[in-house]
Amino acid sequence: MFTLFLQDIWKVLLYSLILGAGLPVVYALGVRASALGTVAADGAETAAVRRRQVLGKTVAGICFAVVLAGIGLGLAYIWASGHGDQLSFEHGSPTFVPKS
Amino acid sequence: MSAQLLTLVLVVIVALGFDFTNGFHDTGNSMATTIATGALKPKTAVALAAVLNLVGAFLSVAVALTVTNAVVSIQNSDGTPDSALTADHGSALLLIILAGLVGGIVWNLTTWLFGLPSSSSHALFGGLIGATIAGIGWGGVHWTGDSTKLDGVVGKVILPAFASPVIAAIVSMVGTWLIFRITRALGEGLNNGGFRWGQIGTGSLMALAHGTNDAQKTMGVITLSLIAYGSWTDLSAIPLWVKVSCAVAIALGTYVGGWRIIRTLGKGITEIEARQGTAAQGSAAAVILASSQLGFALSTTHVATGSILGSGLGKPGAHVRWRVAGRMAVAWFITLPMAALVGAGTWEIGNAVGGGLVGALLMVALLLVASGLMYARSRRHPITAENVNDDWEDPAAVLEPSDPVAA
C-alpha cells in the first residue's frame, strides 16, 4: 500500500506544482508586466515609454486570462467532485464523465 | 415521541453542532492570509467564506453515504447500516455515531481554545474510531485497505496527513520564491495592490472547495442515522432538509470565524504579505483539487498550514516561527487518538447507564458541560475580529493563544 501511496502522491505534487505554483507565477508576471512603462526615471511620456506601456498591458492581459482559465478549471473540478463526476481530458478539452 | 426517535433527534442536532465547529475551525484555512494582509476586512472575509461554503455545500450533489466506511465498519459497502446494529430502530448504531460526534466536537473545541488549526475530518474520524472500538471492538475498525487501493485509517487518514503539509509547503515555497524574483523591482504599493485580487480569488476557491468537501461528511453521517432508525430508505439521495441544514450549519460556523485559529495561521507561523498570501492560497487550492481528483482526500487544514509555512520559507529573509509550527504538528498527530479517546469514553459512559435514550441524554449533557467550560475559558482572553491581527510578539496585545497556562 505504501508504494501505491507514493505513486499517487508524486502525481499530486506534479500537478500541484504546475497549477499551484505555476498559475500564481503567471499572475505575478501579469502584475509585473502591467507595471511596465510606469517606472520611467524622469517621468516623461516618450513614445518609447508608451510602447512599453502598451506591451505591458497586452502581456498582463494574456497572463490574467491564463489565470482566469486556471480558476475556471478549478471551479470545474469543484463542480465535478460535488456531482460525483471527474474531468476527462481524453478529447482534448475538459469534459465531465461519471467517476469510475 | 418515542425514546428512539428522541435519540435520533439528539444525533441530528449534535451532528449539526459538529458541522458548525467544522465551519469555524476551518475559516482560517481559506481566509487567514487574506485577513492578515488586510486584503479584506476581517468581517468581510469571513462573510465571503461563509457564502462560498454555503454555495459549495449545495454543489455537493453526489451522495456521500459511505463516508464512515473509510475508517470503520458500521455500514455495508452500499451504504446501508450493518444489520447487527440496526435492531430497535438502530439504537446501537446511533449511540456509536453520537459518541463519535461528541469526540469530534470536544477535540475541535479544545484545539480551537489553544488556537491550533487541526483537521476536523481527523477529529470526526477519530471520534468514530474510538466509539467503534468501544462499541464493537477493535475488529470494527478498518485499519488498512487491500493491496489494490488506498483505504482504511492508514491509507486514507495517516499517510495523507504526513504527506500533505510537505507537498503544500514545497509548492508554496517554489511559488513564493519565483513570485518574489519576478516582482522584486516593484514597490510595496504596486505589489500589495496587484496581489490583493490574487489573494481574494485563491481564498475564495479554497472556501468553495471546503464547502463541497466537508459539508458532505455531516450529510452522510446524518443520513446514515436516518437509515438506521428506519425513517429513510433511499440510498441514492439525501433528504433535502439534511442538505439545507448542513449547508447552513457550516456556513454559520464559518461566519462566526474561528478567530483564535485565524490568528495563529495568519500571524503566528510567519509574517505574511500579499504576494505570499497569493502563493500560499494558490498552492493550497491546487493541492486540494489535484488530490481529490486523483482519488484521495487531504485535510484542508494540513494543506493550508503547510502552504503558509512554505510561503515563509520561500520569501527571502523571512522568519518562520518553528515553535508555533511544531506545536501545530503535535496537535495534528494527537488529533486522531485524542478524539478517539473522547469518543470511546463517551460511549462507555453512555453504555454504563444502559444506553438508549438515557445514555444519549447523558452524552449530550457531558458535551454541553465540556463545551460550556471551554467557551467560558476562551472568554478570559477573547480573540475577535478586532484584535485578530495584533502583533504576534507583543505580549500586551493578546496573550499567546496557544499557551495553555497563561494566567
- List the domain boundaries for chain B: 3-158+217-271+333-406
pLDDT of residue B232: 87
> Which positions in chain A touch B179 (Cβ < 8 Å)?
24-25, 28
Note whether A16 contacts B167, CB cutoff 8 Å: yes
Cell readout for B346 is 463517551
B285 touches chain A (CB under 8 A): yes
Query: Out of A12, A27, A78, whose CB is closest to B291?
Result: A12
Q: Which of B171, B188, B288 has the highest number of chain A CBs within 10 A, making it the mutation to test binding with A?
A: B171
> In Å, how far from its chain's centre is CA A93?
16
What are the residue boundaries of the structural domains of chain A, listed by start?
2-71
Q: Quick one: average pLDDT of B225-254? A: 91
**pLDDT tens by residue, B58-112:** 887 776 777 787 788 888 888 788 887 878 888 899 999 999 999 999 999 999 9
pLDDT of residue B185: 82
A53-57, B12-16, B137-141: range with highest mean pLDDT: B12-16
Which pairs from A9-14 meet CB under 8 Å and 24+ separation? Answer: A9/B163, A9/B167, A11/B290, A11/B294, A12/B163, A12/B167, A12/B287, A12/B290, A12/B291, A12/B294, A13/B167, A13/B170, A13/B171
Closest chain B residue by Cα to residue A85: B62
Closest chain B residue by Cα to residue A84: B62
Of residues B154 and A61, the one with the higher pLDDT is A61
pLDDT of residue A93: 66
Query: Out of A9, A35, A74, whose CB is closest to B289?
Result: A74
Share above pLDDT 90 across residues of chain B, in percent, rounded to a whole number: 56
d(CA A34, CA B183) in angstroms, rounded, equals 11
> Which positions in chain A touch B208 (Cβ < 8 Å)?
75, 78
pLDDT of residue B401: 46
Note whether B147 contacts A4, CB cutoff 8 Å: yes
Mean pLDDT of chain B, nearest integer: 88
Closest chain A residue by Cα to residue B276: A24
B27, pLDDT greater than 50: yes
Amino acid at B277: G
Contact criterion met (CB below 8 Å) for B128 and B34: no
Contact criterion met (CB below 8 Å) for B230 and B87: no
> Which positions in chain A touch B279 (Cβ < 8 Å)?
21, 24
Note whether A1 contacts B279, CB cutoff 8 Å: no
Note whether A32 contacts B212, CB cutoff 8 Å: no
Q: Which of A2, A19, A23, A27 has the highest number of chain B CBs within 10 A, making it the mutation to test binding with B?
A: A27
d(CA B246, CA B361) in angstroms, rounded, equals 22
Percentages (nearest 5) of helix, strand, coil residues in chain B: 70, 0, 25
> Which positions in chain B touch A27 (Cβ < 8 Å)?
195, 198, 278, 282
B402, pLDDT greater than 80: no
d(CA B102, CA B317) in angstroms, rounded, equals 44
B55, pLDDT greater than 60: yes
Rounded to two decimals, the pTM is: 0.89
Residue with cell 501505491: A4
Closest chain A residue by Cα to residue B150: A1
Q: Quick one: average pLDDT of A79-97? A: 71
B29 touches chain A (CB under 8 A): no
Task: Give the containing element (helix H, strand E) for B255.
Answer: helix B240-256
Provide the chain A residues 35-94 that lie in CB contact (below 8 A) with chain B.
35, 39, 71, 74-75, 77-84, 86-87
pLDDT of residue B215: 85
Of residues B192 and B312, the one with the higher pLDDT is B312
Q: Quick one: average pLDDT of B212-239? A: 88
